[in-house]
A and B are shown apart, each in its own frame.
Chain A
Amino acid sequence: MHATLIGLALALAPGLPDAPESVATTNGVVVNGAAAPVFAIKATTVVVGDGNVLENGIVVIEGGRIRDVGVGLTLPEGTNLVEHDGVLTAGMVAPQSNLLPASERTDSTRPFLEGAELRFGFDPQTQACEQAAAAGITTAVLTPAASNVVGGLTAVVKTHGGKVVKGKAHLALSVNAAAANTDRYPTSYSGVIAELDARLGEGAEGVYAEARSGALPVLIAATTEADAQRAMALAKRHGLRGALLGARRVGEQQVESLRSSGLAVVFDSFGPGLGERSINAMLAVVEAGLPFAFELTDATRFRFDGAALVRAGADADTVWKAMTSGAAAIAGVGDRVGTLRRGLDADLLLWSGHPLDLTSVLEAVYVGGERVHGGDDQ
C-alpha cells in the first residue's frame, strides 16, 4: 500500500528527479514514472459507453490509459485539465474494415489461408488510417476480402500510431458468392460448406480447433440472406462464436435464427441511398437487442451509417453503444477499448453534441491519451 502510494505520488510529480523507470499506480497500470503524462478532461456530458451518462463528468488520463472516470473527482494539484463544452465519448470501433488496400486483402492463389495473418499487410501510414482516426474511428479490425473461403487471421489495430492491439483476433471465413468462385475449386456453396465442415468438424486442427472450441472467434462474410442462413447453420454445427460480416440484409425473417446462433452482425457500409428492405432488416436486428456494429469502408461515412439507422427509428444511444463498446466486444478487445473505464486505453472523442446528431462536430480525437486530431493546444 505504501509503495503504491509513493508510486502514485511519483507518477503525478513529473518534476521529481531520480524517479524509477516505471512504477505501479493505484489502478495497477504500469507507466513510465517520471515521464507519465497525466491530464484530465471535463465535459458537459460524458458518455461512458456502458449505458451510463455523467453530467459534468471527468476522465483522468495517465500513461495513455484511463485512470479514473467520475463526477466531482478531486484532481491532484497541477493536473492539466481540459474543459470541454460538449460530449465526451470513447473512440469508435470498426470490427470490419478495408484499411488494408485491396491488393493486400485478396490472395487469389489459394482459397484456404488459415495461416495468413492480416497484420503483416498493415501499413498505418496510409491515408485510410489517417482519415479513420480523424473521423473518430480509433480502433479497427483488419479483415480480408470475402473471395477466399478462409481469408486468414485478423488483427485489431489502432488507426493512429500503428499499434496492433491484438493479433490473431479472429479466423476470417467466407460463405458468400465470392468464395464460390468459378475460377477455382470450390465453385459452389456446397463445396465451400463441405470444405469448412471438413476443417471445422471433429478432429479439427490448429486454428480450426481453436475456432471450434470457441477460443478463437470467427468473422464470416455472408452477404445475402441465404449466405447468412448457411453461416448460421455452420456456426451452430461446429459451436463457432463471432459475427457475420456484411450481413445487413439478414432480414426480419432471420432474427430468431440469429439470436439462437449467438452471432453478432456487422452491417456493411451502405450510404444514404439505402432501400427500405435493408433498413427494415437492420432495424429488426437492433430492436431485437442483438449485437451489431458497422463496417468501415469510407471513414467520412462511418458515422452517417449509424445516424441513418437512428433516422429510421433506432434508438440513438443503442446505436452509439454498438459503435463503441458493442463493436469492441465483437472485435474481441472490449477489455481494451470502447468504454470509458479505468484501465482502458484513453481513446477519446470530444463532440459538440450527440455524436449521432449529424450537426454535431467532432472537435478532438485522442488515441492512447495523445491528441491526434483537433482541439486547442494544451
Chain B
Amino acid sequence: MIVSTLAAACAAVLFSGPVAGPVIGGVATDDYINGVASDDQETKRSWTISADAIYTADGSVIENGFIRVQDGKIVAMGPGGPSGGDVIRVGAITPGLIDLSLRVAASWNTVEQGSEVTANMRMADAVDLFDEDWQRALRGGVTTALATPLDRNVIGGLGVALKTGGEPTIEARQVAADVVLRGCVGSLPSSGNRPAFQRPNSIFNRRPTTRMGVEWEARKAFYDAMVAAADESKSFPGAEQLQAAMAGELPFMVQAATTQDIRTTLFLKDEFGIPNLILDSAAEAWKEPQMVQRSGASVVLPPFTWDGRTDVDGAAMPWNTAAGLAELGVTFALSGHGSSEPDQRLSMQPLYAMRGGLDFDTALASVTRVPAEMIGISDRVGTLAIGKDADLCLWSGVPFEATSAVVGVMLEGDLVVDPRD
C-alpha cells in the first residue's frame, strides 16, 4: 500500500465551505452533522462519506478520513470525521474516473462524411445523451468522459467533455465543449471510400483510400489553414479550429494505434508545430518510446487485453507499456473504450498497468488527474479538493486491487450507486 505525502494531506486539512458549519480538529460537531442532513434521498443535497483511505490523486492520501459534500461540490475533507447517523462508510475514495476514449454514443451520425476534414463539426451537437453506455460507464465509476466523433474522417471535429449522468441536456452535462480537435490516421478514415471510375454516384467516391491519402488530407488541411491565416479570403469552415490547434490553444487528439501511424502523426506535429498533441489508442507507443518522449506528445492507451491485441488496426500492447512510458516521463492516460467486457472497464485498467510494473500513484493519476489536465478540465474534476465537483468513486478496499470493487459512485453530489445497497 502506498501512502505518499501524508504530511501534505494533513497540512491541507479541512475546510469547510460556507454551508457546512464548524469543523474542529478534523472532527465535525453534532450541529455540523445534523444541520443539513436529510433522510429523503431524492432531494438529499449533502452527504458525509468516510473511508479507510481517501486518495486525492494529487499525490496525497488521507488515512481514515471523511469528505463532506454539499450541493454537488466537496465542501470539507480531512482525517477523522463523524461516524454513525447517515455517514456512509467505505473502504476507499478516489476521484470519479475520467475516460478520454470512452467511444460512447459514437454512432455513424456523429461523423460528417460530407468531407474528409470537418474541423468545425461539434460533437456537442451530435452526441446521444440517452445512449445506455453512459449508464454503464457511470456505474463502473467513470464520471467524466470525452465524446468524439466516430473515427471515419481524417479530421472529424471537436470533442466535448461530459459528465456521464445527470439531467440529459448538454448544458447540464458538459464540463467543457470543444476541448479537443479530433483526428484519425491509420486505416479507418480511408475505409469505405472508393474511386469513381465513371460518374461519381456517392459521396464516398473520394480520397483517401490509403494511409498516404489520409496523411495527405491531414497535411493539406493544416496547410490550407496556414494559408487562410495569412489571407482571410482563403478561409474555410474549420480553418479557425485548425489554426487553434497549431497555436496550441486546442489539443489535437489523433487516433494512431500502430507505430507507423504514431510516426505519421508525430511527423504532422513537427511539420506544423502543433504544440499540444494527444495520441489516442496509441497501443504501440512502446515500440519506439523515445520517439514519443522526444515529441512531447501525450498518450491515451487503449484497454489492456489478454492476448495483447487491441481493437484498433490490430495494434499490439504488452502489459508493461504504461510502466515503460512512465519511466520515460511520457504523460499518459488509461482508457476503457466503452467496452462492454467487464474486464476492459476503466476501473480495471490500473490493475493491469500495475501488473505490468506501474506504480500506484501514477496508475491512479492516469485515470483521474492526468486525463483531466490533458483536456483542460482539471479546475473541476480529476482530484479531490474543497471546491471541486463531488464526483467520487467509492471502493470496497484498496483501489485497483483484484479483490476490490467499485461499490458506490457519486456524481455531482448525487449518490448514483449507493454502497449501502
Which chain A residues have a beta carbon within 8 Å of chain B's beta carbons?
Answer: 177, 180, 182-194, 224-226, 229-230, 232-233, 253-254, 256-257
Contact = CB atoms under 8 A, between A and B. Distances in A.
A229 B114 contact: no
A188 B130 contact: no
Interface of B: 105, 108-115, 118, 120-123, 125-131, 149, 157, 167-171, 202-203, 237
Contact of A185 (B111, B114, B167): B114
Contacts of B127: 226
A182 B113 CA distance: 7
B87 to A, nearest CB: 31
Given A186-B114, A189-B125, A180 B109 contact: yes
A233 B168 contact: no
A187 B203 CA distance: 10
Contacts of B169: 229, 232-233, 257
Contact of B112 (A183, A190, A226, A230): A190
A157 to B, nearest CB: 33
Contacts of A177: 109
Given A183-B203, A188-B113, A224 B121 contact: no
B108 A225 contact: no
Contacts of B122: 190, 193-194
Interface centre among A185, A189, A230 (most CB of B within 10 A): A189
Contact of A184 (B105, B111, B114, B123): B114
B104 to A, nearest CB: 12
A182 B108 contact: yes
Nearest to A230: B125
B361 to A, nearest CB: 38
A200 to B, nearest CB: 13
A259 to B, nearest CB: 13
7 contacts: A185-B115, A186-B114, A188-B109, A189-B126, A190-B118, A190-B121, A190-B149
Contacts of B131: 226
Name A's interface SS: helix
Given A186-B112, A187-B114, A193-B122, 12 more contacts: A180-B109, A183-B203, A187-B108, A188-B112, A188-B121, A189-B110, A189-B126, A194-B120, A225-B129, A225-B168, A230-B125, A256-B167
Contacts of A182: 108, 113, 203
Nearest to B125: A193
A188 B203 contact: no
A177 B109 CA distance: 7
A191 B121 contact: yes
A233 B177 CA distance: 14
Contacts of A230: 125
A186 B125 CA distance: 13
B250 to A, nearest CB: 16
A190 B157 contact: yes
B193 to A, nearest CB: 13
A178 to B, nearest CB: 10
Contact of B130 (A190, A224, A232, A256): A224
Contacts of B125: 189-190, 192-194, 230
A229 B131 CA distance: 13
User: What are the 9 tightest A-B residue pairs by CB atom distance, in nearest-first order?
Assistant: A185-B114, A189-B126, A193-B125, A190-B121, A188-B112, A226-B128, A191-B112, A225-B130, A180-B109
Contacts of A180: 109
Contacts of A185: 112, 114-115, 203
A191 B119 CA distance: 11
A224 B114 CA distance: 23
B194 to A, nearest CB: 14
- Most chain B CB atoms below 10 A, which of A186, A188, A194, A226: A188
Contacts of A233: 169-171
A226 B203 CA distance: 26
Nearest to B105: A226
Contacts of A254: 168
Given A229-B168, A233-B170, A187 B126 contact: no
Contacts of A194: 120-122, 125, 237
B170 A187 contact: no
A63 B364 CA distance: 80
A340 B33 CA distance: 61
Given A183-B202, A224-B130, A230-B125, A188 B111 contact: yes
B10 to A, nearest CB: 43
A185 B121 CA distance: 13
A187 B113 contact: yes
Given A190-B122, A190-B149, A224 B110 contact: no
A12 to B, nearest CB: 58
A194 B122 CA distance: 8
Nearest to A190: B121
Contacts of A191: 112, 114, 118, 121
A180 B114 CA distance: 10
Nearest to A224: B130
B373 to A, nearest CB: 26
Contacts of B203: 182-185, 187
Contacts of B157: 190
Nearest to A187: B113
Contacts of B115: 185
A184 B114 CA distance: 6
B42 to A, nearest CB: 14
B239 to A, nearest CB: 14
A302 to B, nearest CB: 28
B170 A226 contact: no
A56 B169 CA distance: 50
A229 B129 contact: yes
A191 B121 CA distance: 6
Nearest to A198: B237
Contacts of B114: 184-187, 191
Given A194-B120, A226-B128, A229-B129, A188 B149 contact: yes
Contacts of B118: 188, 190-191
Contact of A190 (B108, B123, B129): B123
A193 B202 contact: no
B397 to A, nearest CB: 34
B240 to A, nearest CB: 13
Nearest to A181: B109
Nearest to B111: A188
Nearest to B123: A190
B170 A190 contact: no
